[in-house]
Amino acid sequence: MNEISLNLWNWLLAFTPIIIILVLMLWRRWGASKAGGFALLVTLLIAWLRFGAPFELLAYAQVKALLLALDVLWIIWNALILFHLTRQAGAIDKIGKTLSNLTPDRTLQALILGWVFPSFLQGMDGFGIPVAVSAPLLISLGFTPIHAVLITSIGHSWAVTFGSMASSFQILIAVTGLPGEVLAPFSLLLLGVACYVCGLIVAYLSDGWAGLKRNFSAILILATVMAFTQYVVATYIVYNLAATLAGVMGLLTSIAITGWQSRKNHAANGHVGKDLASAFSSYIILVVMALIINLVPPIKTFLSQVNITLNFPEVQTSLGWLVPAGSGRILKPFSHPGSIILYASVASYFLFKHFNLLPKGSLKSVFQRLASAAEKSSAGIITMVTLSVVMTDSGMNQLLAVGLSQSFGAFFYPLAAPLIAALGAFITGSNSNANVLFAVLQMNTAQLLNISVPLILAAQTAGGALGSVISPAKVIVGCSTVGLSGEEGRVMPKILLYGLIPIMTVGLLAFLLQWLAL
Amino acid sequence: MKQKSEQNTSPFPIRLLLLAVLLILPFALYYALQVGHQWLGAILYAVLLLCVVLLILIN
């Protein structure tokens, strides 16, 4: 038996950890590590007492969660090193000043630094880096820390599935067994529409309706360029670079738009390209290294030789829920995205040192800031990921998804599919993990309900992408980089409010496509 | 003043210490379970949960 009986009592108990996180963070305004720790203890009790999880299951879940958390933390720690090193060299201030000179329009600044630039970064690495890098830049332009986190989080969400070298999309292919050519078109269509919505939200957040109306044509142009590029690259060239190249095209279009506006306004706009290129030098190094390591097979093979993982035995709950034996998260220390950022940091350090850009004691300052930021956010990520693994391994997540899918029925299911995915992403903080959790369930449900499988899976991955940025785990990372650690509860209500808009749009579009177009 | 200053800085090393325990102890827990030392695993797991409680209390 691998089924837990679905009844209201069991479903409500499975939903309790999520309710606790929401209540503690939204109402009590607790920080993520405190809320996550408390919710973890309650989840362990529910998993043990109601879902029959034995001690071995809970203990192994802790170890599995640590492997998953390390996968994310290694990236965050190194991104913080690169960012603070770049800041010590004065490049972050230079980007802020250059972009201020590029355009005086607050909304256009937000669109470039909070929508286009983080989308480009998401293409390369993701895992919280887009917010970690872009939010402080917005603050340097005068945005409040809360607005900086909101804008950058919502801004890059459309690029998550095909970002991080399309890792979430590759997982969707792997778990469903369907070819990428079948899954890509609908996924790209839904995420393309989400790109427009994200741009509109960023414009609204930066300067209200006035900013949105003033830059409406720029939003349409940028969204069309990025969504179209992502569609063409993923469909006809290679999935892995779709979001990256969409971001590159978005940045080039941004420079063209601001150049055109400055000519129109007779403003000086000289040396912008050169200034930006020098200011972005450490990130250009990162892009080049990531491209080389990911796209040159001998280098990728060489660096991927060392794998670290742990094997876990089969465990079963007293209710019959079976967790099969298998390895945990496989860590590749030398080709890991976090390691690539570390290589770029080392190269940037020598570059900055060569040009005498680093003041004395800057390396010590970088590591002090790293320790300060990391110790605040890391514990929160560990507790949240552990909670998610305990919920998965004790069968609570599966019960939640089955209950949700049965409640909606065939007609409304396309509306519900991205919400289910977003729930998975909210719990796990990851589009990839949401796809691991719910993609097969969504596929099976779509087959049972006789509705389009590729469309429902597209809604799954799009909902997971858009939902991942509103998850507590991602909010912790964003807050830790703008000095809001421990104050995640202030950000959560707003990010939920605005983050649900693109998710609902995707649901509505999937609903219309299913019942009108197909 | 000195006492106040120490009070202000004291949470920092405690949080860092708790983080180190959360990062290291699960590997010891895994090893204990793999070699069949259930009692040791139970003690280590109890220490981990204690760390989570401390994490809630100091934040």
At residue A3, the 3 state secondary structure works out as: coil
- Give B-chain residues touching A40 at CB under 8 angstroms: 52
- CB-based contact A59 B29, cutoff 8 Å: yes
Q: How confident is the model at residue B3 (pLDDT cuts 50, 70, 90)?
A: very low
B24 in contact with chain A, both atoms CB, cutoff 8 A: no
- Cβ atoms of residues A483 and A139 within 8 Å: no
pTM score of the predicted model = 0.76
Taking the C-alpha atoms of residue A416 and residue A508, their distance in angstroms, rounded to an integer, is 9
- Give A-chain residues touching B49 at CB under 8 angstroms: 41, 44
Q: Name the residue in chain B with its Cα closest to that of A376.
A: B15
Q: Which of B41, B53, B59 sits opposite A33 (nearest CB)?
A: B59
Q: What is the DSSP letter of A85?
A: H
- CB-based contact B27 A66, cutoff 8 Å: yes
B11 in contact with chain A, both atoms CB, cutoff 8 A: no
Taking the C-alpha atoms of residue A320 and residue A446, their distance in angstroms, rounded to an integer, is 26
Q: Which of A58, A65, A379 sits opposite B18 (nearest CB)?
A: A379
- CB-based contact B55 A310, cutoff 8 Å: no
The alpha-carbon gap from B3 to the nearest alpha carbon of chain A, in Å, equals 22
- CB-based contact A376 B49, cutoff 8 Å: no
- Looking at per-residue confidence, does A50 or B4 come out higher? A50
Q: Which of B18, B29, B53 sits opposite A62 (nearest CB)?
A: B29
- CB-based contact B52 A378, cutoff 8 Å: no
Q: What HEC string does A317-368 produce?
A: CCCCCEECCEECCCECCCCCHHHHHHHHHHHHHHHHHHCCCCCCCHHHHHHH
A396-419: b (≥16 Cβ within 10 Å) or e: bbbbbbbbbbeebeeeebbbbbbb
- CB-based contact A41 B53, cutoff 8 Å: yes
Chain A residues whose C-beta sits inside 8 Å of any chain B C-beta: 30-31, 33-34, 37-38, 40-41, 44, 55-56, 58-60, 62-63, 65-66, 70, 310, 371-372, 374-376, 378-379, 382-383, 486
pLDDT of residue A126: 67
Q: Name the residue in chain A with its Cα closest to that of B38.
A: A56
- CB-based contact A382 B27, cutoff 8 Å: no
Contacts (Cβ under 8 Å, ≥6 apart) of A27: none
Taking the C-alpha atoms of residue A250 and residue A228, their distance in angstroms, rounded to an integer, is 11
- CB-based contact A375 B16, cutoff 8 Å: yes
Q: Which of B29, B48, B59 sits opposite A486 (nearest CB)?
A: B59
C-alpha separations of A87 from A99, A133, A256, A276 in Å: 16, 10, 27, 14
Taking the C-alpha atoms of residue A25 and residue A487, their distance in angstroms, rounded to an integer, is 9
Q: Tell me the two tokens of residue B30.
A: 């895994």
pLDDT tens, per residue, chain A with 518 residues: 456 777 889 999 998 998 898 788 767 778 778 888 999 999 999 999 999 999 999 999 999 999 988 887 887 788 778 878 888 888 877 776 676 667 888 999 999 999 998 998 887 666 677 888 888 888 888 899 999 999 999 999 999 999 877 778 887 887 787 898 999 999 999 999 999 999 999 999 999 999 999 999 999 999 999 999 999 989 887 777 789 889 989 988 998 888 777 666 555 455 566 666 777 787 788 778 877 887 788 998 999 899 988 999 999 999 889 999 988 878 889 988 788 889 989 999 999 999 888 888 888 999 888 887 777 678 887 888 898 889 889 988 888 878 877 888 888 899 999 998 998 888 777 788 788 767 877 887 888 788 999 999 999 999 999 999 888 878 888 888 788 877 788 888 999 999 999 999 999 999 999 988 76
Q: Give the amino acid at A176.
A: T
B40 in contact with chain A, both atoms CB, cutoff 8 A: no
ipTM summary value: 0.85
- CB-based contact B29 A63, cutoff 8 Å: yes
Q: Name the residue in chain A with its Cα closest to that of B25.
A: A63
B26 in contact with chain A, both atoms CB, cutoff 8 A: yes
Query: What is the DSSP secondary-structure string of A265-314?
Result: TT---TTHHHHHHHHTHHHHHHHHHHHHHHH-HHHHHHHTS--B--EE--
The count of residues in chain A is 518
pLDDT of residue A1: 43
Q: Which of B30, B48, B55 sits opposite A310 (nearest CB)?
A: B30
- Give A-chain residues touching B52 at CB under 8 angstroms: 37, 40-41, 383
Taking the C-alpha atoms of residue A83 and residue A411, their distance in angstroms, rounded to an integer, is 48
Taking the C-alpha atoms of residue A254 and residue B46, their distance in angstroms, rounded to an integer, is 54
Q: Which of A37, A55, A372 sits opposite B55 (nearest CB)?
A: A37
- Give B-chain residues touching A382 at CB under 8 angstroms: 19, 22-23
- Give A-chain residues touching B37 at CB under 8 angstroms: none
Q: Name the residue in chain B with its Cα closest to that of A56.
A: B33
pLDDT of residue A58: 96
Q: Name the residue in chain A with its Cα closest to that of B28.
A: A63
Taking the C-alpha atoms of residue A155 and residue A136, their distance in angstroms, rounded to an integer, is 14
B47 in contact with chain A, both atoms CB, cutoff 8 A: no
Q: What percent of chain B has pLDDT over 70?
A: 80
- CB-based contact B53 A486, cutoff 8 Å: no
C-alpha separations of A383 from A36, A58, A377, A426, A481 in Å: 5, 13, 10, 14, 19
Residue A294 bridge partners (DSSP) = none
Segment B20-41 mean pLDDT: 94
